[in-house]
Structure 1
């Protein structure tokens, strides 16, 4: 983790930091398990962003106006969140066509979230498939 990303996470309340770090670990694990290559970790639009070659950006953030959740953002001009909503209707709350909303108390060690992250990180090889090949 770069110093600027560490500083960004450190600016959040402890519960949000922990949840964001768990999602970060999951993103890195998905990229490694799927041999997707190097993960570019940066800040975009004031949010921590993750991208691999052939994937779509994933951003994560916490906001004081929604203190009990973090959000996992996806590019709003993709059909990713629409796909997630179709296959995981009950598992998540969503924010429009751009984010999965995760309570600070939610388990993020795998399952549906891991699958959603995988679809985003492989997006350009799956985007032509119905429901991204699910």
Structure 2
């Protein structure tokens, strides 16, 4: 099942992503919504744009830190977390060699990569519950 877009601007951004990146970004988007729906304490999730990128944040309650999806300059596509948190560094400690990291702010993917959604769900859950710790 695919979560419907509530914000037409976000939908336009996804439609404008290159064909090679869009499927992976849509998979990540759907996984974010699924993790939010099954994680206690997350509440309502808002999909909006931040810095021109699709962004996911908790609004009721404000339990988490923003997650963004986008296209890094190096190519491919990426999932971003707030760089002034320990979200990504904590995740990298668990899976140091499983992903391509950009410091403490992003995980990069190449088009056609098989996404390890089960492991990435742990990262998303950590971000969406960051302020509940």
**Per the shorter chain, which TM-score range?**
0.7 to 0.9
Q: TM-score, normalised by structure 1?
A: 0.86
Q: TM-score, normalised by structure 2?
A: 0.86
Residue 66 of structure 1: how far off its partner (Å): 2.7
Partner of 1:48: 54
Find the partner of 1:73 among 64, 67, 80.
Answer: 80
Matches within 5 A, 1:15-34: 15-34=20-39
Where structure 1 has 5 or more consecutive residues not aligned to the other structure, the ranges are 127-134
Residue 104 of structure 1: how far off its partner (Å): 2.0
Q: How many residues align?
A: 124
Find the partner of 1:118 among 99, 102, 125.
Answer: 125
Measured on the aligned residues, the alpha-carbon RMSD in Å equals: 1.4
Where structure 2 has 5 or more consecutive residues not aligned to the other structure, the ranges are none
CA distance in 2, matches of 1:116, 1:103: 19
